[in-house]
Chain A
Amino acid sequence: MMETLVYIALFAPFAGSLFAALFGMGKRQVFVGIVASALLFISFVASVMLAIYVVKTGTPIHVMMMEWINAGDIRIPFGFVVDQVSVTMMVVVTLVSTVVHIYSIGYMDHDKSFNRFFSYLSAFVFSMLVLVMSDNFLGLFIGWEGVGVCSWLLVGFWYHKPDQPREVNPSISPSWAANEAFIMNRIADLGMLIGIFIIYWNTGTLQYDEVFAQLPYLPQWILDAAAIALFIGAMGKSAQFPLHTWLTDAMEGPTPVSALIHAATMVTAGVFLVIRANPLFAMTPEVSFFIAALGTFVAFFAASMALVNRDLKRIIAFSTLSQLGYMFAAAGLGAYWIALFHLAAHAFFKALLFLGAGNVMHAMHDELDIFKMGGLKKVMKWTYLYMGIASLALAGIPPFAGFFSKDAIIETAFNEGTYVLWIILVVTAGMTAFYSFRQVFLTFWGDERYKQYGIHPHEMYKFVLVAMSPLAVLAIIAGFFQPWFHEFITTLLPDYEMSHHTHELILVLTAIVLAFAVGGIALAYKMYAKGLKRDPKVENSFIYRLLANQYYIPQLYEEMISKPYAMISEALWQKVDLKIVDATVDTIAKFFYYTGDGVRKMQTGNLSNYLNWMAVGGVALLVVAALSAVIG
């Protein structure tokens, strides 16, 4: 029974994807979206039932579907495990997906490729479920790559858009952004593969349970190597520095995609991996600390870029990046359950935020510049409400979900004694609040700048708004489940408790964080609530430009990697392949040909020459024979 549920949960989205694919090239059919959403809902229900089962019994469900790769000594099955961690992910994924699917019916209703969109979207969910449910590293890798491809398809969904200069559109074009995302992920995937190789050759298996059972017997350096390699994989998927540029560019995709993939689910796969492989990371403290440090850095780094950005979606994307940094900080510090909790909470409010942004875009006819918005709260009340809730959650204002999860992470940093990380995280929390509300105020408050551009915004369809409501509710209440979740998840994940010392200081710490958050909001209010006031001096300052241009990292990559790569490729082809390798071959051929041309000159046609040749030949033979006689 439970096995069937597992399969239903897993394959319902796949069925939806295939169903939608059947109509993929046809005209827009609303029922395609409905069927896909319904199937996802089924999957969600199944996930919830599984969750209940796991909560009740506390035993994971392990399903072995079939053998996959058997070669040499390696045995890799398609096996799925539904335990506390994966079921959490499943519920989150299917829930957000269902909402996003329904949302998309509204959002994509004018798009020609409506059916195709659902096919991709469901396929993504399927891949994501494979990723989280697999019982072995290679199965995870299937999902890992699968979500990568779906992401590529969805980011590049509007493939017909032309390339634009970076100044006009920092992401150049959807297809460019899709390729960038895919390739950057591939770089990380190589690390992941290497990690899998290390694990296989040292443990002889890739099944999680068997691998983890053997970890204590492995030398430290191998554990370190495996952890580093796996984390490189995680860095790509979760867009950690320096592989972060693709995430903001991925905003070229339709907004539901951004909500689902680039906020709630796929990008958290890296965090999921670290959580999944927690026995390994727990045994490699140096690597874990590095993860935490990098996470903290990214949290700050991304938040800083969000401060000045004008693009509605990119701001949210930077915030996602920043929040992922928080999650890694938690995971790296050993607070796996907190990371997972933040992951889930973040999924809800970030998806909500994105969907809200999608509503705005829909209303603004795909205009994304917040400098061209303002005062939208009048026409888009519900959206304003949703985005407000989500922003509060993001900013970590109690009692919204973000407060509980993010606060726990910051406390963890303090608890571990890594005060530098703690300070940075606290500051980042303030920055988060600032840029979230900068965005909210610029979009919904102040003067109605959109009117200059002749835009007539309107509220989103009702059913879409209704569909978004579960997320809004969760963004508000999810935090209250924290103790319950803690109890549930720590049957599998290692428990993480604050020390006594931290407990004593907890109110102070919370107060500091809150102060920063509220301060951020206040600052945003002061600066932007009344309308947009642009200060050219600020905007021309070095820092501003640095932040606005993402520290010039995309340009740097372009100049230091893409262009040289293209140049070297061209040179290798034109100079090396054609001029050296191939030319050598041709030269050998020509050598013989020209030798022939040279030698044939002896064939003068003149008999006397021929006779001379005979005599010369005789003498030469004599010389050769004499030489041979002397040497021999």
Chain B
Amino acid sequence: MYETIAFYLFSALTIGLFLITVMSKNVLYAMTSLAAGMVLISGFFFILGADFLGVVQLIVYVGAIMALYSFAMMFFDATRDIKERNTNSALVFALGGLSALVLVLMFAAPIYSENIKALYPMHESIGNAQDVGIVLFTKYLVPFEVAAVMLLVAMIAGIILAGKKMDQSLTEDLSADDEILTTKDAK
């Protein structure tokens, strides 16, 4: 019963919030509603018994990612309303609607099968975090490590792209030869 109420509430709220994220002209509103929607999604996780996932969602998304966006927003000075031109709304909404329709139809179909045995079953006896931990550090150890590399890549990428060294482009700096050529062409 609670689950039902919670589900519908959360569903309505997330849909609404994300709609704001997508439709709003104000970056701040969009971001805030995004953050709020993500919090509510973690609520879904809790309903579904994925406690650990819910926590991670809160920490990573609401914490880390939103913080990153906030910094970025400050950098871009994007607090003003944003003007967006050239949007072919009809096409966009038709595509969105169509994809929604297909996805909904697809998911509304009896996709679930009773007869499928879980490969990595959850254990009622132990907590979700332990359960997750066991699978993550046995079966999914390699992806986990790769994800670490991926985060390293992201870190390096973020650092060097935002770094000062990028300000002076060697690709466009003209050496002596280039200048000779340029002057030659100018003649």
Chain B residues, Cβ within 8 Å of A619: 95, 98-99
A56 shortest CB reach to chain B, Å: 100
Q: Which residues of B contact A616 (CB under 8 A)?
A: 91, 95
Q: Which residues of B contact A612 (CB under 8 A)?
A: 88, 91-92, 95
Number of A residues contacting the other chain (C-beta, 8 Å)? 8
What 0/1 pattern do residues 592 to 625 of A give for CB contact below 8 A with B? 0000000000000010100010011011001000
Main secondary structure of the interface of A (DSSP, over half): helix
B contacts with A, residue count (CB < 8 A): 9
B122 close to chain A: CB less than 8 A: no
> How far does the Cβ of A605 sit from chain B's closest Cβ, in whole Å?
13
Closest to B102 in A: A622
CA–CA, A618 to B98, complex, Å? 11
CB <8 Å contact, B102 and A615: no
How far does the Cβ of A609 sit from chain B's closest Cβ, in whole Å? 9
**Least CB separation from A623: chain B residue:** B98
Q: Could you tell me the distance in whole angstroms from the C-beta of B85 to the nearest C-beta in chain A?
A: 10
Q: Which residues of A contact B87 (CB under 8 A)?
A: 608
The distance from the CB of B89 to the nearest CB of chain A, in whole angstroms, is 12
Q: Which of A615, A616, A622 has the most CB of B within 10 A?
A: A615
Write out the residue numbers on chain A whose beta carbons fall within 8 Å of the beta carbon of B98: 619
Pairwise interchain contact B95-A615, C-beta atoms closer than 8 A: yes
- Would you call B86 and A615 a contact (CB within 8 A)? no
- CB pair A615 B88 closer than 8 Å: no
A370-407 vs B, CB cutoff 8 Å, 1 = contact: the mask equals: 00000000000000000000000000000000000000
Q: Per-residue CB proximity of B118-135 to A under 8 Å, as 1/0?
A: 000000000000000000
Which residues of B have CB within 8 Å of A606? 86
In chain A, positions 461-509 with a C-beta closer than 8 Å to chain B are none
Contact between chains at B99 and A618 (CB < 8 Å):
yes
B103 to chain A, nearest CB (A): 11
- Measured between beta carbons, the chain A residues less than 8 angstroms from B102 are 622
**What separation, in Å, do the CA atoms of A93 and B77 have in the docked complex?**
114
Known pairs A608-B86, A612-B91, A619-B99 / 13 extra A-B pairs, C-beta < 8 Å: A606-B86, A608-B87, A612-B88, A612-B92, A612-B95, A615-B95, A615-B99, A616-B91, A616-B95, A618-B99, A619-B95, A619-B98, A622-B102
Q: What are 16 of the A-B contact pairs (CB < 8 Å)?
A: A606-B86, A608-B86, A608-B87, A612-B88, A612-B91, A612-B92, A612-B95, A615-B95, A615-B99, A616-B91, A616-B95, A618-B99, A619-B95, A619-B98, A619-B99, A622-B102
- B: residues with CB less than 8 A from A are 86-88, 91-92, 95, 98-99, 102
- Chain A residues at the B interface, C-beta cutoff of 8 Å: 606, 608, 612, 615-616, 618-619, 622
In the complex, the 7 A-B pairs of residues with the closest C-beta atoms, listed nearest first: A615-B95, A619-B98, A619-B95, A622-B102, A612-B91, A616-B95, A615-B99
